[in-house]
Structure 1
Amino acid sequence: MISLSVRSGLASLRETGEKLVGKRAYRVLFAAVSLPLSLSTILYFINHRYDGLQLWQLQNTPGVHQFVWLANFIPFLFLYPSTFNLLKVAAVDKLKLHLWETGIIRITRHPQMVGQVIWCLADTLWIGNTMAVSASIGLIGHHLFGVWNSDRRLAKQHAEAFEELKRRTSVIPFAAILDGRKILPKDHYKEFIRLPYLTITALTLGAYFMHPLRQAGSFELHW
């Protein structure tokens, strides 16, 4: 869990770090440190995902494979396209941040957290051992901390504008819609017919069919 600790620490120190070295330089530093750690953690998990004590075994249960595949596909629609309106993916670009509340934000204000929770629960159901449970607890805890940390920083930076956004949106999926704080337009689906969503859909399907190759490549590293 070193990777999660480093990412959380760097995220918490962002305000101080940006004052010391500048926003762009700090984002480059964040990426240079966190990306290699994340990659090594992912590869380690792939190679050791079946270590530990087996708690349940449902892989041969009818319908479980299809359910887990769908539950692994949906999170990518939360995890990655959720960031494209922030316009801050490229560390070398001038940073901009807009408080927007369309698309996936109508459903949840923190789509990356929701996507990660869905992914963790699906993989834990499929693998069913202590390794998967411990990894999921760490990842979910990391993203819940990120929710608190992100809201704290946005409230400090945007004050009343962010408080208005909080009143019209929710962290729990669909909560703001169900209690009437957010109206879901009839043509809401059009907000998802965009290149980032279509690209992620294509890449996710491609990654599924290339799963054996990714497993083989990870195994060859012997991590």
Structure 2
Amino acid sequence: MLEIRNLNVEFSGKLAVRDTSFAVQPGESFGLVGESGSGKSTILRTVMGLNATWNGSISVDGQDVRKIPRKQLAKMVQMVFQDPYSSLHPRYVIGQQIAEPMKINGIANPERRTAELLELIGLGAKFQFRFPHELSGGQRQRVAIARALALSPKLLLLDEPTSALDVSIQAEILNLLNRLRKELGLTFVIVSHDLAVISYMCERLMVMRNAQPVETLTREQLRSGAIAEDYTKALIAAA
């Protein structure tokens, strides 16, 4: 579903991602972990086309992202950002924000689809008439997830999807994401500082440091401590 080969991303002459390669299979949940500034979120933003200065290759569902028209790419892959407080427009009601991508892409019956999505994420159609400030943090993140699903993508990029939420709400969002992945046949790439989140959500993970990969592990290796690199051992000990 996602294949990245020899990716380099540069900002102002400095490499933010260096010679990074990995592949994610359809239906898999793949984690990216590492300290702040290691390049994790930059990879997600580059896949989405939000970074212009990069080289290497990125393909989604077998197609080169450089050759996919913007609207078509949006139907294939979507992103859920870290902060639900800033990722929603404060002056638009929830229904407008979920329906907007569908209207831009000419999808029929966006209002009906919006109501269906709100039911799917556990809020209910009545929430479409509320503003973001009337919702809790967990509810806002559910709306962000619904908006990401509006175009029926198969790949979701999740950038620290629960780190801005109260601990009591985090598990609800993670369980919702797991349910949606099974019901809709989604593929996830998840960035998180929280190794417990990655262990719960992901079958495999890649550890990054200083803009490049350190090693790739399975969930079983992470849980059992069957780890080769000293940096990964130190990261787990710190967590």
User: Where on the TM-score scale, by shorter chain, does this alignment land: which range?
Assistant: under 0.3
TM-score by length of 1: 0.26
Larger radius of gyration: 1
TM-score by length of 2: 0.25
Higher strand share: 2
